[in-house]
Structure 1
């Protein structure tokens, strides 16, 4: 690698820190939360997550979770009331990029960012890569909101921005080979070209975004993945000409085959 991927490392660190300091998140993912913690977490997410209805129509809710616990007709529950804050829908797209709902959600995203982000940052440079990441995240957030304009469900996660990184990697390094685990009776490690791995990933996201083949299409923002990926491809296309093959890491890290003459 020609440049140390400081921005990629910083993004990973920021996502992890935000996750750890999100109110109630550590206990909720460990299964030890009480109702008060869950109400606090819900209020925090509604405040800082991106909501399609707010992004497209600027329809701010009249009542939101307050973070307090109350007793209703059906027993204890989270209290709702008028929002005690002014929320910027446009800014919420940025804050939502650093929010995750579980360790699996967080670690899956960070793994993809670590694997593919370093070479894209190397090609773009630190500042341009950071701007690229944010733009892809915004494209994904607003793209998802456009096709779900009436939805009041909060949208969180770095997936849209990271999908942009994957799209850029496909454009810049289509023939680079990566190791993947292919299920065939057992998981077989195969070294396949990036265009096949990432192209297959994109097709799956596009199919899932239509609601086909999955039962949880409403809880995963597949459309955001599709839009982010396409945005990444478009933004990276001017850099395609003259892009050298990516330097290979020393040893084997999630797949790119080692070449001892290069350093990670």
Structure 2
């Protein structure tokens, strides 16, 4: 749909989004050093060792011993730090780079880290509950990033964002139209694309968690919907 580039949205409470940048760094490091920059065997092995597999999570199946790296419950978080390709990684990290710093600013460092983890878990759980017997692993930060997008939309719908539409047309649009369309796209595809390789249900699970959590986790005095914007 579009590639976000830059938002005109100054941080107010924190000078440096250390948690957001640390999450991005961790994702990049895992992909380039642990997953071999997307090498197929490394991606395949890590998907089963660290991805969220519903049947394994619900103890309906067991992983091969050589793939059992962590307890099953841990995959609710670890899946969000592994990606299937460079484009998969780049898309998630770009959204996080553009929108995550302002959400961290609104929540604070510790609460933003907790917020991100809960959104990741919510997206993973939504994916797992749709088909508890599935043995298809879920990987990628999309669920957590969707939560960040939902929080940003709740906080700053009037902020204008520079994007590339269709990958080549630069436009400056308000977040409410840009991210609102993105949210609708995720929901519609979740309903219509049951057999898609993209786990839209995880995106929607993260979106719902992010929209709810930001209401209760934002700093005291931080308003919703840009009510103090001129």
Greater percentage in strand: 1
Shift of 1:237: 1.9
Counterparts of 1:142 and 1:102 in 2: how far apart (Å)? Answer: 23
1:90 aligns with 2:73: yes
SS at match of 2:192: coil
Deviations, residues 185-209 of structure 1 (Å, cap 9, x unaligned)? x943222211111111011111111
Corresponding residue to 1:26 among 14, 19, 37: 37
Give the ranges of 4+ consecutive aligned residues of structure 1 lying more than 6 Å apart after TM superposition.
none
From 174, 185, 197, give the equivalent of 1:219: 197
- Which residue number corresponds to residue 180 of structure 2? 199
Q: 230, 234, 247: which one pairs with 2:212?
A: 234
2:119 paired with 1:136:
yes
Following TM superposition, by how much is the alpha carbon of 1:150 offset from its aligned partner in structure 2, in angstroms? Answer: 1.8
Q: Which runs of 5+ in 2 are unaligned?
A: 1-10
Distance change (3 Å), C-alpha of 1:27 and 1:218: closer
The unaligned stretches of length 5 or more in structure 1 are: 65-81, 246-264
Find the partner of 1:6 among 12, 15, 18: 18
2:110, 2:139 → 1: CA distance?
24
In structure 1, what is the Cα distance between the partners aligned to 2:147 and 2:186? 13
The alignment yields a C-alpha RMSD, in angstroms, of 2.5
- Which structure carries more relative contact order (alpha carbon 8 Å, separation 6+)? 2
Q: Secondary structure at the match of 1:155?
A: coil
Whole-angstrom CA distance in 2 between matches of 1:206 and 1:101: 22
CA distance in 1, matches of 2:201, 2:70: 24
What SS class does the counterpart of residue 179 from structure 1 fall into? strand
Is the partner of 1:97 in helix, strand or coil?
helix
Q: CA deviation at 1:217?
A: 4.7
Pair 1:211–1:119, CA change in 2 (3 A): same
